[in-house]
Amino acid sequence: MRRNLLFAWTFAFCSIGHAEQYLLNGGQSSEIRYVMTQNFMPGDGVSRLVMSYVTPKSFTSPGYTQVIRNFDIRFSIPPSSRKSRIDSRGNEILEVEWMNPRNTVRATLTCTAVNRTELKPLKASAPFPLTGLAPDVRPYLQPTKMIPSAHPEILKQARRLTASSRTEFDAVQRILSWLVDRVNYVQNPERYDAVWSLKTGKGNCQNYSHLAATMMRAVGIPVRIVNGVTLKQPYEMKMPGGTFAMRMAQGRHSWIEVYFPDLGWVPFDPQQSELFVSNRFIRVETGLDNEETVNDGSIRWKRAPRSLQMPLFQEIVDAEFVQDRVELSAARQSYGPKKLLFSPVVESAFENVAFVPEQEAAPVAEPVSTRRLDFSMPDTTGNLEYPRGEDFSGFRQARGSGSDDEFTMNRSFMVETAEYVTGRGERYAQTFILDRPMRIEQIGLALHPFGGSGSLWLEVLRDDGNGKPGGLIETSDLIPVGTAKPAAGYDWMDFAFTARAMELAAGRYWMVLCYSGSPVVNWFFTYGKPVGPNDGTRYNTLFDENWSRSLSYEFNFRVIGKTAR
C-alpha cells in the first residue's frame, strides 16, 4: 500500500521505541571569518615545492546556502610562479611554486563565509528508477576505485534495499538508514574504499561518503563527493525532555551531494544527516571520489639527491563567528535507524513495510550478590579506538608518496575530536554497559592534560532507569594533575579503585569525570556511538543538575577488571 505523507518511510531495522530518526525544524545562520594557515618547513633538501589550493565558491541548495566573500591567499615568501585553472568538475585550482626554498613557507587563506541552514518542509517527487538524466549529471554515476558501484556485493545489497522503492527519496532513505546503523567511525582506517567499509563496518568520513555514493550509484542515483572543512563551534537543538548538543572537529571533512531532478544537488553528511548539512560546514571541492578531490591542500616537492631530511608540515584552522543564530528543535519518530539520523520534514511517497525488532537495550542493573562469583578472567571493554599519542597541535613530518626524490602529500582527514572537560563549571558523564558481572580494577579515559593545578577522579554511578546518571556507587583514587606524565597527544589515564573491590552485576552504569582546582584537560571522543546507546554521553551545569543535556558523540574509555567464569 502506497501513501503520500510527511517524511518518507525509512527502511526500518529497529522496532518502534528504539528508532533514532529526528525531524528538525528551524535553522542556523552565521557570518564566519575563516582562516587557514599552512606552514611548510623544507629543511635543507627541497629543490622544488608546489602547493595547490581550491577557491571555495558560493553554493545554494534547498537546505544549505554558502556565500563566500573576500577570499584571499597570501604567502610569507613570494612564489616563483602562480598558475590558475578550472578542472572538469568546475573547481578553480591555484598552483603555486617555489624553487629552492630555504625558510618556512607560510600560506594564509582568509575569507568570510555567510552560511545558512534552513530546514523547511521539502517535496521530493522524483520517481525511481531515475531516467533522462542530463549529460552534466551522468558522470556522477561512474564507478571508480574508491566507489566500485558495479561490485557484485554492492549491487546485491543496494538492489535489495531499494527493490520496492518508487521514489528517489525513498531509495536514498533506505540506503542511508542502513549505512548509519552498520558503520562505526574510526579515525585512521586501513583503507578508504567502499568495499572495505562494507566488509568491516568501519571508516572515517571518506569511507562513509564512498560507501553511500557507491550504493546509490549502483542503483542509478548520481552522487558527487564534497571536500571541505567543518568548524568546532557547538550548537544545541531542543528535544523532548532536554537539549541535544552537536559538535564536529575543526578540520578537513568529506561528505556527499545527491542529485534530485526536482531539487538539484542536495548535501548529505552520511554520518548523521540527510538533505542538509550544518552551517558549520565550509564547502570547497567536488569530484567523483576522494582520490579525485585532492587539489585543495595538495603539496608536491622534490628533494635534492641523497638528502635524508624530510620536511615538516602544519595546518591550522581558525574561525570567528561574527554572527551566529541557532533555532533548532527536533522531534523523535517511531521509525528509522537505531543510530542518530536527522532530516527536515519531507513530502514523498513511501511504502509500508513491517518493522524488524532489534535486541532490547541493556537492562538497568539490579542489586544482586556477586560474592559467590569467581572473578578470574581478565577483561577490558569500552570505546577503545583512537589515535593514541597523535600530536594535533605541532608540526608533523611531511610523509608523502612518490618515487625516487619526488613526493606528493594530500590533505589529511585526521582531526582532533576532543572536549574541554574541566573548565566551565560542567561535569561530563559517559555510560558503559556490562554484559556480565565484573570486578572493576581501573577505568581509563583518553585524556590530554595541558597543565593547571588540582586533582582528577572518577565517580561510578548507577543508571536512574531513565537513561541518566543516578546514585553513587564508588569513587576512584585521586590523580594530582601535576603527576600526569606529559604526552604529545592523547593517552590513557587510568583511575584505580583501591578503597574496596567494585563488583558490578551486568547492566548499565555511568562514569563521571570530577576535578578540583583548575586543571586543563581534554577528553577525546568518537563520532557517533560505537559501543553505547545514543543517550549515553551527557553533561550538566551549575544551573542544570539533572543531566538533561546529551551529546552526539561518545568519549573514548576503557573498563579494566576481571569477569566471572
Hey, what domains does the chain have and what are their CATH numbers?
13-26+119-291+325-351 (3.10.620.30), 29-117+294-323 (2.60.40.2250), 375-390+412-564 (2.60.120.260)
* pLDDT of the residue at 215: 98
pLDDT at 554: 97
> For residue 129, is the peptide bond before it cis, meaning its omega torsion is within 30 degrees of 0?
yes
Q: Outline where DSSP puts E strands in 280-415.
A: 281-287, 299-303, 312-332, 341-344, 346-351, 375-383, 396-397, 401-403, 406-409
**Which residues does 466 contact at the CB level (< 8 Å), separation at least 6?**
none
Q: Could you tell me how far CA 290 lies from the centroid of its own chain?
A: 16
Q: What dihedral do alpha carbons 82, 86, 87, 90 form, nearest 10°?
A: 140
User: What is residue 499's predicted lDDT score, i.e. its pLDDT?
Assistant: 82
Residues 42-60: tens digit of each pLDDT: 988 899 999 999 999 999 9
**What Å distances lie between residue 324 and 30, 68, 249, CA to CA?**
4, 16, 18
CA gap 271, 182 in Å, rounded: 11
d(CA 159, CA 408): 38
Structure confidence at residue 18 (pLDDT): 62
- pLDDT confidence of residue 65: 98
How many C-beta atoms lie closer than 10 Å to residue 451's C-beta?
12
Closest by alpha carbon to 386, among 521, 522, 292, 269? 522
- H or E segment and range at residue 513: strand 507-527
Alpha-carbon distance of 258 to 274, in angstroms, equals 10
> Cα-atom radius of gyration of the chain, to the nearest Å?
25
Secondary structure string (H, E, C) spanning 117-159: EEECCEECCCECCCCCCCCCCHHHHCCCCCCCCCCHHHHHHHH
The residue behind cell 631530511 is 309
Euclidean distance between the first and the last CA atom of the chain, given in angstroms as a whole number: 52
Half-sphere exposure of 389 (CA within 13 A, CB side): 0
Q: What is the pLDDT along the chain (565 residues), one digit of tens a residue?
A: 333 333 333 333 333 346 788 999 999 999 999 999 999 999 888 999 999 999 999 999 999 999 999 999 999 999 999 999 999 999 999 999 999 999 999 999 999 999 999 999 999 999 999 999 999 999 999 999 999 999 999 999 999 999 999 999 999 999 999 999 999 999 999 999 999 999 999 999 999 999 999 999 999 999 999 999 999 999 999 988 889 999 999 999 999 999 999 999 999 999 989 999 999 999 999 999 999 999 999 999 998 776 667 899 999 999 999 999 999 999 988 888 888 899 999 988 755 443 343 444 555 665 555 567 889 999 999 999 999 999 888 888 887 776 668 899 998 999 999 999 998 789 999 999 999 999 999 999 999 999 999 999 999 999 999 999 999 999 999 999 877 666 789 999 999 998 877 999 999 999 999 999 999 999 999 999 999 999 999 999 877 778 999 999 999 999 999 998 7
Query: What is the secondary structure of 47-80 as a DSSP string?
Result: EEEEEEEE----EE-SSEEEEEEEEEEEESS--S
Under 8 Å between Cβ of 204 and 290: no
Give the pTM.
0.91
Rounded to whole angstroms, what are the CA distances from 385 to 9, 81, 414? 34, 43, 13
- Burial pattern 102-112, b for ≥16 Cβ within 10 A else e, equals eebbebebebe
